[in-house]
Amino acid sequence: MIKKSIWIYHLNTGGCNGCDIEIIDVLTPFHDAERLGVKLVGSPRHADVILLTGPITRQSMEKAINAITAAPDPKFIVAIGSCACGGGIWYDSYATVGGIEAFYKILRERGVKPPKVIYVPGCPPRPEAILHALAYFKGLASKKIKKRVFVEK
Amino acid sequence: MRILRLEEIENPELKEIYEEIVKRFGDGILRSELIAGNKLHLHVEKGFLRKVSSHIFDELGAFYCTTAGVDERPLGGGFRAYHIFSIDEKNLFIVVSAEASPSLPRLPSIANDVQGANWAEREVRDLLGIEFDGHPDPRRLVLPDDWPEGVYPLRKDFRYDLKEVPRVKKQYPMRRPEAEEYVMPIGPYHPALHEPEYFRLYVRGGRVVDAEYRGFGVFRGVEKVAEGRLTYTQIPFIAERICGICGFTHSSCYCEAIEEASGIEIPERAQYIRTIMLELERIESHLLWVGVACHLLGFDTGFMHCWRIREGVMDLCELISGNRKTYGMNLVGGVRRDITEKGREKALEYLAKMRKELREISEVVSGMSELTARIKDVGILSKADARKLSVVGPTARGSGLKRDVRVDHPYFAYGKVSFKIPVYSEGDVWARLMVRVEELFSSADIIEQALEGIPSGDLMAERIEIPVGVRGLGVTEAPRGENIHFLITGAENKIYRWKVRAPTYNNLPSVPIMLKDESLADAPIIIASIDPCFSCTDRMVIVDEKTGEERVLGAEEILRLARRGEIR
């Protein structure tokens, strides 16, 4: 999906640090994501992939939208952890938006085209799982589940 | 309700303190009770709140812990604020509370006498709408900027899952820079680690003259969710997700509070297991911090080595609990998993290896004059300031305050092990680094002793009944310092009020003091030196106020400048 080196930007939208620390763990020599050409960058303007953690709190939402719109196209989001994937334990709290789906709804309402998203569930996901997502962008690994839609009758 | 009689108090030191308080403020005390033998609750008349609080803080030498606001209207009262103080050397807690009327909630502010209460009172104002008269800085603290005035989420008539609170356009009011002053924002997003937080530094010629903080980007409404949706046995799991680094200390603290409130005796083996897990967590957290500190100082080799050593403790935790983080081992009344013989062997093996490797790396770090020169005499927090703000944990111990909950208020198996508490009086970044490095060795000592002395037996208490309407106070020593959970139990297997105070809450207000008159290049390491759950390798924006010209420094550039120890 991405031919050149993947530059990643880490966007914490209210995560508890569990996923954030595992992301750093992926970048340190033990797991060594840099061998895949992955580089952590300090600005969303340089990023190909945004690693999003946390349930998107009300306070961080506007800032998260700014960061996502600042990233150049084509861009991808990796929703890391249960919170980012679906709001996690905070899905219905008054202080959070509640996961990437609800967040994308707000983005669409505002006329921002939401980037394609890859889900990495877990609380926190293992470093290997995050590495798997990054390897997917390089075509080294395949998706583990297919999209299925269930309709209530 | 009634006033406690003197004969009812067994502890002679508490008796003396209580006698003095009754003698001086007798008329103002409406109600008093003693919980768990060492926690004195005083319900005082509004007008006496300041006097009683400053008596406890100034004359009794107590430290301020936190303030919990409670909506007691459904219980037939008004709004109540509980100010919690701890007298460390005597293992006592004094909780002073006053009630505000339900129609117009107002209370006198104690923040002028007890500086540490500044934030906590602002939080109570945000969440419950109690106005504190005479508060020095009544700005918003925890709620988002776009939250409308007059909507108070912790009131009982607010639904925890109400998402349709309207968004208002409002900016958080911050001090305008004066002439010759530059504003240097740090945040809200950081390239390397952690949370959306925002520091605003006021800079004059490369020197920091003032700093302001606007954080709480991670405010997820934990307390309300727990009150609204979760049962007693589910809360340890949400408590563990308060922090992904020191989550176990939160779930332990919650369990401690509930167990104390309902008089549950947990089996000794469970106490030892909790102690061991808490210390493993401390090792993991401190190694993380030492690594990040090395990174901020430009010593990336040290960073990588610390994280390599840390990988062993993560594997060990996975072996014991089944997960690298968020262990999910605590339940009210005990623990869910045992430490097996294999876990014990692996732990001892790891600790021996960690000691050796850590000794090597700490020798390298302390021998590098270019590194120590960057942290000695930098970011000083004096003992007096530390006491005034009631800072906790390694931040306090680096400033010469010998405070450690593990010794002052022993819990779980900490009373049965012996260990060294490092205290440094310098108060600089170096002292805080050394405290943490030495604590790593103490933690290894504790785990080894606990693994040696762990008795066999059950993991869960047999009888678990939680009465309605009792108060509990749990205190643990998190890697960053004293962690406090205050709770009131409720009906239908749910909690009525749960207040969480993490250590960084007390430590962050000390950062502006540390930053004052320091070089801008040292700001990242000073902010990180309290281990504020985030490291600060940030991008910064320099705005020239006179010309309005904006210059953005990238993370790389800032790091390069910070490492060189200068800034253009």
DSSP assignment of B455-492 equals PP--SB-S-----TT-EEEEEEEETTEEEEEEEEE-ST
CATH classification at residue A114:
3.40.50.12280
CB-based contact B225 A89, cutoff 8 Å: yes
Are residues B486 and B519 both part of a single domain? no
What is the number of structural domains in chain A?
1
Residue A144 lies in a domain: no
CB-based contact B217 A88, cutoff 8 Å: no
Residue A26 lies in a domain: yes
Range of the domain at B108: 6-133
Are residues B83 and B62 both part of a single domain? yes
In SS3 terms, B207-240 reads as EEEEEEEECCCCCCCHHHHHHHHCECCCHHHHHH
Residue B438 lies in a domain: yes
Residue at which a domain ends, from B75, B98, B133: B133
State the Cα–Cα distance between residues A6 and B562, nearest whole angstrom: 27
Residue at which a domain ends, from B501, B523, B553: B501
Q: What number is the average pLDDT over the span B475-501?
A: 92
Residue A150 lies in a domain: no
For the stretch B415-456, pLDDT in tens is 999 999 999 999 999 999 999 999 999 999 999 999 999 999
Nearest to A16 among B146, B224, B244 (CB): B244
CA distance A147 to chain B (A): 27
Are residues B362 and B397 both part of a single domain? yes
CB-based contact B325 A22, cutoff 8 Å: yes
Average pLDDT, chain B: 87
Residue B177 lies in a domain: no
Residue at which a domain ends, from B74, B100, B133: B133
CATH classification at residue B306:
1.10.645.10
Task: Report the range of poorest mean pLDDT among B67-71, B75-79, B364-368, B520-524.
Answer: B520-524
Nearest to B193 among A20, A92, A93 (CB): A20
CA distance A47 to chain B (A): 11
Closest residue, chain B, to A63 (C-alpha): B188
Range of the domain at A44: 7-137
Q: Which helix (H) or strand (E) holds B563?
A: helix B555-564
Confidence grade of residue B547 (pLDDT, cut at 50, 70, 90) = very low
* Strand, helix or coil for residue B198: strand
Nearest to A12 among B194, B243, B326 (CB): B194
The encoded tokens of residue B458 equal 């059950």
CB-based contact A20 B244, cutoff 8 Å: yes
CB-based contact A18 B325, cutoff 8 Å: yes
Contact residues, chain A, for B219 at CB < 8 Å: 14, 57-59, 95
Closest residue, chain B, to A91 (C-alpha): B161
Residue A127 lies in a domain: yes
Are residues B356 and B407 both part of a single domain? yes
- Residue B470, CA atoms < 13 Å, CB-side half-sphere: 18
Are residues B432 and B518 both part of a single domain? no
Residue A152 lies in a domain: no
Contact residues, chain A, for B325 at CB < 8 Å: 18, 21-22, 124
Q: Which helix (H) or strand (E) holds B330?
A: strand B330-331
Are residues B453 and B534 both part of a single domain? no
CB-based contact B243 A62, cutoff 8 Å: no
CB atoms near residue B517 (< 10 Å) = 10
Are residues B31 and B90 both part of a single domain? yes
Q: What is the pLDDT of residue B1?
A: 55
Closest residue, chain B, to A55 (C-alpha): B220
From B263, B163, B150, select the one nearest B221 (Cα to Cα): B163
Residue B175 lies in a domain: no
Are residues B392 and B271 both part of a single domain? yes
Confidence grade of residue B533 (pLDDT, cut at 50, 70, 90) = low
Contact residues, chain A, for B303 at CB < 8 Å: 28
Confidence grade of residue B201 (pLDDT, cut at 50, 70, 90) = confident
Letter string b/e over residues B173-194, b meaning 16 or more CB atoms within 10 A of that residue's CB: eeeebeeebbbbbbbbbbbbbb
**Most B CBs within 10 Å, among A49, A93, A131, to test the B interface:** A93
Are residues B515 and B468 both part of a single domain? no
For the stretch B28-46, pLDDT in tens is 999 999 988 889 999 999 9
* pLDDT for B536 beyond 50: no
Query: What distance lies between CA B285 and its chain's CA centroid?
Result: 14
For the stretch B165-176, pLDDT in tens is 888 888 888 888
Letter string b/e over residues B368-401, b meaning 16 or more CB atoms within 10 A of that residue's CB: eeebeebbeebbbbeeebbbbbbbbbbbbbbbbb
Task: Report the range of poorest mean pLDDT among B180-189, B225-234, B285-294, B539-548.
Answer: B539-548
State the Cα–Cα distance between residues B496 and B466, nearest whole angstrom: 12
Q: Tally C-beta pairs within 8 A across A and B.
A: 157
Contact residues, chain A, for B539 at CB < 8 Å: 42-43
**Most B CBs within 10 Å, among A7, A21, A52, A62, to test the B interface:** A21
H helices of B83-203, in order, are 117-128
Nearest to B326 among A18, A58, A67 (CB): A18
Residue A142 lies in a domain: no
Are residues B209 and B336 both part of a single domain? no
Are residues B119 and B237 both part of a single domain? no
Residue B65 lies in a domain: yes
CB-based contact A54 B326, cutoff 8 Å: no
Residue A115 lies in a domain: yes
What is the number of structural domains in chain B?
3
CB-based contact A95 B188, cutoff 8 Å: no
ipTM score: 0.92
CA distance A82 to chain B (A): 11
From A102, A27, A109, A45, select the one nearest B292 (Cα to Cα): A27
Specify the amino acid at residue B95.
Answer: V
Task: Report the range of poorest mean pLDDT among B176-190, B384-398, B407-421.
Answer: B176-190
State the Cα–Cα distance between residues B555 and B343, nearest whole angstrom: 41
**Most A CBs within 10 Å, among B145, B189, B553, to test the A interface:** B189
Residue A1 lies in a domain: no
Are residues B226 and B354 both part of a single domain? yes
Residue B159 lies in a domain: no
Residues in CB range of B445: below 8 A, 6 or more apart:
B417, B418, B419, B420
